[in-house]
Structure 1
Amino acid sequence: MFFNPSKFLFLMTLISGTLISISSNSWMGAWMGLEINLLSFIPLMINTNNLMATEASLKYFLTQALASSTLLFSVILLNHNNFFAFYFPESNYIINLMINSSLLLKMGAAPFHFWFPSIMEGLNWFNSFLLMTWQKIAPLMLISYCWEKNLIIIIIIMSVMVGSLGGLNQTSLRKLMAYSSINHIGWMLAALITGENLFFLYFILYSFLSLSIIFLFNSFKMFHLNQMFSLSNSALIKFCLMISLLSLGGLPPFLGFLPKWIIIQNLVESNHIFLISIMVTMTLITLYFYLRVAYSSFMMANSELKWSFSLNQNNLNLYAFVLSIFSIAGLFLITLMFNIF
C-alpha cells in the first residue's frame, strides 16, 4: 500500500482544496482552497516513526505559509488598487509580480526551489508523488489567470537550467526526482504559453510516467543510486524502468517526447527560438542522469544476491510491463500525428 487507509479523509480534503482553488471566481476563494490543500497535506506527510518526515512537514508548512501570506497580502492590495494606482501607476504590475512569485514559491519553481529537494528527501514515495504532481495543479492554473509573460519566460529558463544541472551530482533518487520535477515545471509553464489544453496533456503524461517510475522505486524500497546496483530482479523489471526513465526524459520515440514535441512546434511558430533552444539543450542534460539510473540497474554483468525480495514476482512483472507499454506506444502516437500533420 502506498498510504495508510486512515488518512484517506485527508487525501480527499487535499483533492477538494485543489478543486476549490481552480474553480473559484475570486482570489480570496482561491487562497482558501490553497489553505485547505496545505492543511490536509501536512497530516499525510507526518510520520511519528521518521524524524525526517516530521522535519520535512515543518519546512513545508513554513514555506507554504510564507507563500500564502504573500498571496493574501497581494490580494488585499489588488482590492485597493484604485487608491494605489493614483500614486503609483506601476502598482498593478508590481502586484501581479507578487502574486506570480507567491504561486511560483508554492510549486517550487526556480529560483524559489530551495525548499523542494530537501523536503522530498524526507518523504515516502507516495507523498513525493503527490508533491511532484497534484500539488502543482492549483498554482499553475492560478498563474494562468494573472500571466506576466516576461517573468514567466525568465522562470522557464531558470527552472530548466536548475532542474538539469542540479540533478547531476545527486545520489539520492528522491532529490533526483525533485530536480527532474523542477525541470518539468519549466516545460509546463511553456505549455501554458500556448494554451491550457497542451498543459493538461503534458501534466497527465508527466504524472503517468512519474507514477510508473515511483511504483518500481517503492516496490523495491529504492532511495539511493547505489541501491540500483543490487536490484536483483528479472530483466523485464529493469527494462521497464529504463523505458520509463527515458520516456520521462523526453527521448523519442517514447511517449514522453509527444508533449515536448508539440510544445517545441508551438514555440517555434511563436518565434521563441532562443527559449526553446535552451529548453532542449537542458533536457539533454536531464537525459544523462536518467541514463545513469537506468545503467545502474541494467548492467549486464552485475552480481545478484542469493536472496530475493518478498514480492509477488508475477504481479510485479505484469504491473511494470503494463505501465511501461504505454511509453513504448508513444512510437505509434508520434507516427500517427506525423502522418496527420
Structure 2
Amino acid sequence: ASSHHWLLAWAGLELNMLSILVIIMKPKHPRTAEAAIKYFLTQTIASTMMLFSSTINATQTGQWNISMMTDKYACTMLLLAMTMKIGAAPIYFWLPEVMQGTAMLTALIIATWQKIAPISILFMTYNHLPPKIMMTIGILSTIIGGWGSINQAHLRKLMAYSSITNLGWTMVIFSSSPLTATINIAIYMTTL
C-alpha cells in the first residue's frame, strides 16, 4: 500500500487480505472458517468503499494519485473505509469476533501487522481527511474499546478491544500530529 497510485494501493491491500485468510483458516475448524468469512466480507466491503472513493476522486481531478484527494465526499468515504479496515469505531464489530475465532498468533498478526497498510494510506492522505470526523472516530474508538474490555473473559477479545482503544488514541493524535501518531502505532506494534 506504499504506492502512490490508487489501483496499485488497492491491489496491495487485497493481496494482504487474501494472504491472511490462509493463515486464519490454518487450523481446520468451523470457528476459524467463520472468522475467515467475517474477515473476508468486512475487508472486501472496505476495499470496495476505498475503490469507490478513489473513483469519485479520479472523476473530479482526472488523476489516480493518492496525494490528490480533493473531493470531500471521497475523503470521508476513504476515512470510513480505512477505519473499517483497521477495526476502529463505528465499524469495529467484526474485530473482536474474528480475533476470538483465530489462533493466538493469528490474532496478534491481525491486531498489528494487518493495520500497517491502511494506516500508511491514512498517513499519505491525512492532509485531505476531515479532522473533525477523524477526531470523533478516535474518541468513539477510545470509549468503545474501554467499555468493551470491562469484564472481558476472553483474552483474544480483550486484545481486540485493546487494539480498538489504541487505534482511538492514534486517530486523536493523527488529527493534530501525524508523525506522533506514527510513532504511537510503531510502539504499539512492537510492544503488543
CA contact (8 A) 1:48 1:54 kept: no
2:3 maps to 24
Distance across 2 between alignment mates of 1:45 and 1:198: 31
Distance across 1 between alignment mates of 2:9 and 2:132: 24
Give the secondary-structure state (helix, strand or coil) at the position aligned to 1:185: helix
1:95 maps to 74
Deviations 1:178-208 (A, max 9, x none): 1011000011123323434322322232123
Distance across 2 between alignment mates of 1:55 and 1:143: 29
Deviations 1:48-87 (A, max 9, x none): 432211110111001111111111111111111259xxxx
Which structure has the larger Rg?
1
Q: Say yes or no: does 1:188 pair with 2:170.
A: yes
Distance across 2 between alignment mates of 1:192 and 1:157: 12
Distance across 2 between alignment mates of 1:48 and 1:202: 33
Distance across 1 between alignment mates of 2:80 and 2:164: 15
* TM-score normalised by structure 2 residue count: 0.88
2:159 maps to 177
| Higher deviation after alignment, 47-56 or 175-184 | 47-56
Distance across 1 between alignment mates of 2:189 and 2:116: 11
Give the secondary-structure state (helix, strand or coil) at the position aligned to 2:18: helix
Q: Say yes or no: does 1:60 pair with 2:42.
A: no
1:205 maps to 187
1:129-278 aligned within 5 A:
129-144=108-123, 145=125, 146-210=128-192
Deviations 1:127-167 (A, max 9, x none): 11111111111112212314210110100110000000111
Deviations 1:216-235 (A, max 9, x none): xxxxxxxxxxxxxxxxxxxx
2:105 maps to 126
Give the secondary-structure state (helix, strand or coil) at the position aligned to 1:47: coil
Structure 2: which 5+ residue stretches go unaligned? Answer: 63-69
CA contact (8 A) 2:135 2:175 kept: no
Q: Say yes or no: does 1:49 pair with 2:31.
A: no
Amino acid at match of 2:101: G
CA contact (8 A) 2:76 2:129 kept: no
CA contact (8 A) 1:140 1:189 kept: no
Give the secondary-structure state (helix, strand or coil) at the position aligned to 1:80: helix
Q: Which runs of 4+ in 1 moved over 6 A?
A: none
* TM-score normalised by structure 1 residue count: 0.51
Give the secondary-structure state (helix, strand or coil) at the position aligned to 1:169: coil
Deviation at 1:105, TM superposition (A): 0.5
1:33-44 aligned within 5 A:
33-44=12-23
Distance across 1 between alignment mates of 2:88 and 2:45: 15
1:115 maps to 94
Deviation at 1:106, TM superposition (A): 0.5
Structure 1: which 5+ residue stretches go unaligned? Answer: 1-20, 84-90, 211-341
Distance across 2 between alignment mates of 1:193 and 1:175: 27
Distance across 2 between alignment mates of 1:208 and 1:96: 30
1:306-317 aligned within 5 A:
none
Distance across 1 between alignment mates of 2:21 and 2:92: 19
Calculate the aligned-residue CA RMSD, in Å.
1.7
Give the secondary-structure state (helix, strand or coil) at the position aligned to 1:165: helix
Distance across 2 between alignment mates of 1:147 and 1:168: 32
Larger RCO, structure (CA 8 Å, separation 6 or more): 2
